[in-house]
Amino acid sequence: MADVTMRIWRGDASGGDFENYSVEQNEGEVVLDVIHRIQATEAPDLACRWNCKAGKCGSCAAEINGKPRLMCMTRMDQLPEGPVTVTPMKTFPIIRDLVTDVSFNFEQAKKVPALMPPPMPEGGYIMFQEDVERGQEFRKCIECFMCQDVCHVIRDHEANKLHYSGPRFFIRYAELEMHPLDMNDRRDLVREEMGLGYCNITKCCTEVCPEHIKITDNAIIPLKERVVDAHYDPVAWLGRKIRRKTKTSAADAAVQPAP
């Protein structure tokens, strides 16, 4: 096959620029194959993160022609004719070349209150299939953080990182909120501290998810509706009062230790 020009961002925290590499492209190759060929030939110091090469570890997330994608799952022959641009994820600070510091996400992960089940009944916990299936979709997340990268709330507004956990963690909150054994109530927490209200549901997270998780429809909007139940719906409020339904408060939930 014909050679292809790869425009790759080279640099680190002190600055950088594009460098062009003209490399051979073989049938069936993905972007990561070509990056590896560049490493093996022209630029052995080119930094990129990768691991499974099968779209299951999420390590090789980068921006290809301006869109967040997994390099190992992006076939070269499906890209348009012309130079292929590869840049690191824009939302996170660069370490070197295509490698970014994604520790923002690990800080957000620490804030998620763990599952709080009731005391173990005799015979153990029982979960039915329909309840298992509901959360299963969210467990497919491979933590590539492309949803976090594409989310304009932090991509274009750095200061929002202080009070916005992002779509990857909204699916975690949603999964826990929908867990039949969980006794925590995280609705105040996601509204007041995790910035659920900042999401304006533009669905970019869903568009880039390599696992095709319906992040917006199945996690973020249900969470927003749960916040409406708790804060903006007087009928729901009245129903809770009449039925004397109470849950662990968000403040308590935030400090609940893992069981």
User: Which residues between 164 and 193 bind other proteins (CB under 8 A)?
Assistant: 177-180, 182
Does residue 211 bind other proteins (CB under 8 A)? no
Asked if 5 is part of the footprint of other proteins (rule: CB under 8 A), the reply reads: no
Minimum distance from residue 127 beta carbon to other proteins (Å): 8
Smallest separation (angstroms) from other proteins to the CB of 179: 7
**Pairwise CA distance, residues 61 & 73, whole Å:** 10
By CB under 8 A, what part of segment 7-66 binds other proteins?
9, 11-16, 18, 63, 65-66
The distance of closest approach from Cβ of residue 222 to other proteins in the complex, given in angstroms and rounded to an integer, is 5
Count of residues engaged in binding other proteins, rule: CB under 8 A:
79
Among 2, 120, 128, 245, binds other proteins (CB under 8 A): 128
Pick the piece of the chain touching other proteins (CB under 8 A) from 5-13, 20-28, 53-61, 117-125: 5-13
CA distances 66 to 5, 92, 136, Å, are 16, 15, 31
Q: Based on the shown chain and the rule CB under 8 A, indicate whether residue 203 belongs to the binding site for other proteins.
A: yes
Assigned token pair, 211 = 């696992």
Rounded to 10°, the helix 221-231/167-177 angle is 60
Angle at the Cα of 51 (from 55 to 6), degrees rounded to 5?
A: 80
138 contacts 215 by C-beta, under 8 angstroms: no
| Near other proteins by CB under 8 A: residue from 33, 143, 207, 252 | 207
**Closer CB to other proteins, 72 or 164, in the complex:** 164
Q: Which of 161, 168, 172, 186 binds other proteins (CB under 8 A)?
A: 161
**Site residues for other proteins, window 93-112 (CB under 8 A)?**
93-94, 97-98, 100-101, 103-104, 107-108, 110-111
Half-sphere exposure at residue 210, Cβ-oriented, CA atoms within 13 angstroms: 24
**Strands, sheet with 84-87, edge to edge from the N-terminal-most edge strand:** 15-24, 3-12, 84-87, 61-64, 67-70
C-beta of 36 vs 247, nearer to other proteins: 247
204, 209, 219, 250: residue in contact with other proteins (rule CB under 8 A): 204
Interaction of residue 212 with other proteins, rule CB under 8 A: no
Closest CA to 146 of 69, 242, 255: 69
Other beta carbons within 10 angstroms of residue 197's beta carbon come to 13
Asked if residues 39 and 96 have their Cβ atoms less than 8 Å apart, the reply is no
